[in-house]
Structures are given as C-alpha cells and as structure tokens.
Chains A and B, each alone.
Chain A
Amino acid sequence: MEKIIEVSDLSYRYSDEHPFVLKDINFTVNKGEWLSIVGHNGSGKSTLAKCLNGLILPQKGTVKVGGYTTSDEEAIWEVRRLVGMVFQNPDNQFVGATVQDDVAFGMENHGVSREVMKERLSEALRLVKMDDFAKSEPYRLSGGQKQRVAIAGIVALQPLIIIMDEATSMLDPEGRKEIIQTVRALNKKHHLTVISITHDLEEAIHSDRLLVMNEGKMIREGKPRDLFKSTDLLRKVGLDLPFTVKMRNELRAKGVPLSDTALFQEELVDELWTLHSSK
C-alpha cells in the first residue's frame, strides 16, 4: 500500500523550559485510509495533527507528506496544499460573508482561476450537501452546517489528506452525524485520506485504524475490532469505551456467552439473537 504520510522519531516541545509533549512518535498513513488518533485531552493528539501539515515543526525526527518533508522551507506550501485541516470551533473558521465566499476564499489564496473556481465551488458544495445554501450567511447555519462548509473549502483545494481536529466535539448529536456521514462519503467515494483526531470512540469505531496516544506517546495501534478486545488499557489512559463494547463486557461478566468482537449495536443484537434462537 502506498504510504502518504511517514512520521519518524518525532519529538516536540513548545519551548526549552517545557517538557516534550510528543515523544519519539513513529507511524505511517496509507493512501485512502481513514485513521483515527484517539487520546484524552492533553495527550498530545492535537499537537501531532499540527505537525502533519507543518503548522509546527518537530525538534527531533521528520514528518514526510506525499514525499515532501515538512521542515523543508521550499516544500511547506506544497505540504499545506496536500493536507487540509478542519478545526474544532465552527465559528472560528468562517471568513466569508456567505457560504460561497467562504469556500472561494481558500481557492483565491491559492490563485485558482475564476472559471476553475466556479466549477470546484459548486462541486465542493454538492459534495457536502450544502449547495442549497450557497448564498446563505453564516449566522443562519447550524454548527454542523458550518463545519460542512469548512470541509467544502478544503475539498475545493483538492487535497490528498483531510485532518479533522476534534471537528465534531462542539456539535450537537445531529451535527455530529452529518459530519461523520460527509467524511465517510469523502473517504469511500472520493478516496480522500482522512485523519480524525478525536476522543469520541463512537466515531472512531467507523475508521479503518486507530492510534492511541497517552502523555505524548503512541501506546497502541490497530484495527478498532482488535483494539477493543483489550479494554483495560484504554480505560487506564482515560478513554471511554464504545457503547457496544461496554454492553458486551457487562453481559459477559453476567455470564452471557458472547464473543469479544461486536463493535456495533446491530452486531451485538445479532449475536444475542443467534444465542437465543439456538437455545
């Protein structure tokens, strides 16, 4: 599989007096995958995200994106074109007076011609299902809609990778669902590589792979289904468990002979149903 991001021996601290907030991190991201980086507040996951598009540069080690090294001054703009980032607060990211102005802003900055801009604008808005709102003003939008506009602004720049830095944590449950659906479509249908920084494990179980951060270190890596087999470690680093895993563990503890693989509610219902019908 083609590696689109390669992080080697990455360490970072905000200043010499501060301790390292990232310590010897090594991982790669495959092209087209949906990767979640999970950890509690303060585990270093947002700092890591900022290393991935060169917003901050490591003191030790290297970050390579699409073959470019982030610490290479000549390449930094190429890196940022390849990696789009959606941040936490929907209200801090809206710069345009209308939805279409906002999406066009990034393209203007990148010197995209007017004809191409028009085309990409309508395409990007269609992708995030905001085409009916092209002329709307931001204050008329919900948080989820604003985040979708932020995603459209990034999609219009045709990046290879989109990083969601806690992009759903300030949204209501409905807004959260909208964003997860949008991201899934971008990932599955349009083959965009997605890196989601989150502490919402209900969201993370949908991704292809998980990285677990704690105190600036990467402590585990794996597929959601494998990772949630050993739940003690996740608890110990202050992460909650997805609902289905909690339910499954509780039922097992009460003597119901279930497997340790169910991640989604439907799967657990299926398993319970099978168990019950074979009695």
Chain B
Amino acid sequence: MDITFEQVTHVYGRKTPFEKRALNNVSIHIPSGSFTSIIGHTGSGKSTLVQHINGILKPSAGRITVGDFVIRANEKKQNLKALREKVGFVFQYPEHQLFEETIIKDVCFGPMNFGVSEAEATKRAEECLQLVGLPSQLWHRSPFDLSGGQMRRVAIAGVLAVRPQVIILDEPTAGLDPMGREEILSLFKDLHERLNLTIVMVTHNMSDAANYSDQVIVMDGGKPLMAGAPERIFSQVDQLRKVGLDIPETMEFLNRLLDRVGKKETIPAFTINEAADAVIKILGGVKDHV
C-alpha cells in the first residue's frame, strides 16, 4: 500500500492559548513494500506524522492516501476501521497495553475486534506468537508473568495477528537491552522481506535507521527536511547537526579519523565491517602519499 501525504497540516489545540502547528504543509511519499525510517529531534513532528497514517489523528488541512483509502481534512464520515485493519500500529512501550488473562487471549483480541472468528483468531495468534519467538509453553500463562522484552513481543504479535499490510513502529526498541533490540529489529526486517510488509519506523537511533531502512525521512519543525536513501541522508552531516541529529556512530568515527589525517570527505558506512574496511582504506590511501 502506497502512502502519500499531500500538503498535510496538523494543528493541536486550535483556537486555544496552546495552539501548536505540529505538521506544516507536509508532502511525502512512502512506497509500498518499503522500510522507511522517520528521524528528527524530539518535538519535530515524527509521531504526529505517523499517527495520521491510520487515522488516529486527522489532518487540519491536506490529504493522506493509504492504498485505496483517502483521508481529507474536514471530512466526517470515514471508514477508519477498515483502514486500521490494514495499518497496524505498534505504539511506544506497547507492553503497557496488554490486559487479558492469558497471552493467547491477548493476541486474539485484535483480530476478533475486526470480526474474525475465535477459532481463526486462535490459529492466527499461535502463528504470530511463533513468529515473534515466544515458546508455546507460555501461551496460556498471564502476560504479566513475562519479562519486559517478552511482553513487548506479545504486544507485537497482537498487531501482526490482524494481518496488516503496513506496520507503524513508534520507537520499537526504547528501553530494551542490546540483545532485545537486535531481536525486535531483525524480526521486522524479516517480516518486511518475507511478507513484503511496508514498515514505517520512528526512531532516535541513527544506526538503526541507517542499517534497516531503504528510505529515511528527516523531520524538523513539522516539515520534512529531506528524504532519501540512508547513504544520501547520512552524508549530509552538517544539515543533520543543524537540526540536532547525530550520524551513525560508524560514520562519526570515520569523520574523526578523516579529520585527523586531514581529509575532507564523508564515507557512508553503517556496519562495523564496512567502517573497518573504510579505516584500512583511509590509512593505506594516505600511506601512498608519504
């Protein structure tokens, strides 16, 4: 499902002393089947932006198209339920939303809410719990007996069980330890590749944005500042710094080294392996001049 924003503006608390323009005339395109990361400083409009994709927020002006669905400003009657079945939303700290007596019931809640029979919902729940890697001996226990990381996976299974085509992730790894972070991100990468899911991820982690996405959108002051492949975006070091963003630590390190050897260039390298190769090249390349 292609996602398109056309001149979308969102104003919070209109006609109150707290009026705030959180999105300002935003036009962006997220292609079907892409993995898009949205980065930006706290308060830049990232979360507001993604909450428009499944109609949690409605635009004050402009138009959003998600597949066949169109959401316009000032339009009352919209079939948001059908849209929300297609667009799953994993909120920040989704484990806070678990509520059922057992894990399996919790995962069934989503699909049954969309009219799926109990038998079918149970089947899907089992599939999705397997997908997120939760051992079956735990399925009939209370979700509240699990560790934080496991609870988060149950919450994610609940979103997957609705079988959305688009998944929105708002800081999916916040508060997780490094191993948990890697597990969750590889899970979405895998889902993205195997099921051709469109993924939109809001993140503060530049390395995650660089390593997992094929498109990065940079938000600043309610507007998209730039959009493109990670290699291109993270080469704009000065621009990113100006809006309070870092570059992936691999590149930060290379910049320090380049600075020291007196070279002025930017090397987009996102993994440790790529960065190490670049280091060797920088050192070797300089040696030839000596």
Contact = CB atoms under 8 A, between A and B. Distances in A.
Interface of A: 40-42, 88, 142-143, 166, 169-170, 172-175, 199, 201, 238-240, 243-244, 246-247, 250-251, 254, 256, 265-266, 268-269, 272-273, 275-276, 279
Nearest to A253: B276
Contacts, number: 91
Q: Say what secondary structure dominates the interface of chain A.
A: helix
Contact of B256 (A88, A142, A269): A269
Q: Say what secondary structure dominates the interface of chain B.
A: helix
Interface stretch (B25-33, B111-119, B172-180): B172-180
Given A170-B175, A174-B244, A238-B179, A247 B42 contact: no
A157 to B, nearest CB: 27
Contacts of A251: 276, 279-280
Q: What 7 A-B pairs come out closest when comparing CB atoms?
A: A240-B178, A199-B177, A238-B179, A250-B276, A40-B177, A172-B204, A41-B177
B178 A265 contact: no
A273 B260 contact: yes
A1 to B, nearest CB: 31
B256 A266 contact: yes
Given A41-B147, A247-B276, A272 B283 contact: yes
Contact of A172 (B42, B261, B290): B42
A247 B249 CA distance: 10
Contacts of A143: 42
A272 B249 CA distance: 17
Contacts of B177: 40-41, 199, 238-240
B178 A239 contact: yes
B134 interface: no
Given A250-B272, A265-B253, A272-B279, A169 B175 contact: yes
Contact of B178 (A42, A199, A269, A275): A199
Contacts of A268: 253
Interface of B: 41-42, 147-149, 174-180, 204-205, 244, 246, 249-250, 252-253, 256-257, 260-261, 272-273, 275-277, 279-280, 283, 286-287, 290
Nearest to B274: A250
A203 to B, nearest CB: 12
A247 B242 CA distance: 27
B179 A247 contact: no
Contact of A279 (B204, B249, B253, B290): B290
Given A41-B180, A142-B42, A276 B287 contact: yes
Contacts of A266: 256
B260 to A, nearest CB: 5
Contacts of A142: 42
A41 B176 contact: yes
A147 to B, nearest CB: 14
Given A269-B260, A279-B287, A279-B290, A247 B178 contact: no
Nearest to A202: B249
A277 to B, nearest CB: 8
Contact of B149 (A41, A175, A201, A275): A41
Given A265-B253, A273-B261, A276-B261, A42 B147 contact: yes
A230 B253 CA distance: 23
Contacts of B205: 173
Given A250-B276, A275-B283, A279-B287, A40 B179 contact: yes
Given A279-B287, A279-B290, A246 B272 contact: yes
A179 B42 CA distance: 16
Nearest to A176: B204
Contacts of B180: 40-41
Q: Which of B204, B246, B250, B276 counts the most chain A CB atoms within 10 A? A: B276
Given A41-B177, A256-B283, A275-B283, 5 more contacts: A42-B149, A240-B177, A247-B279, A272-B283, A273-B257
Contacts of B178: 40, 199, 201, 238-240
Nearest to A265: B253
B240 to A, nearest CB: 12
B151 to A, nearest CB: 11
Nearest to B176: A41
Contacts of B280: 251, 254, 256
Contacts of A88: 175
Given A42-B147, A172-B42, A174-B244, A240 B179 contact: yes
A247 B275 contact: yes
A201 B275 CA distance: 20
Nearest to A254: B276
A169 B204 CA distance: 12
Contacts of A170: 174-175
A239 B276 CA distance: 21
A266 B204 CA distance: 24
A1 B250 CA distance: 39
Nearest to A242: B249
B124 to A, nearest CB: 28
A244 B175 CA distance: 22
Nearest to A199: B177
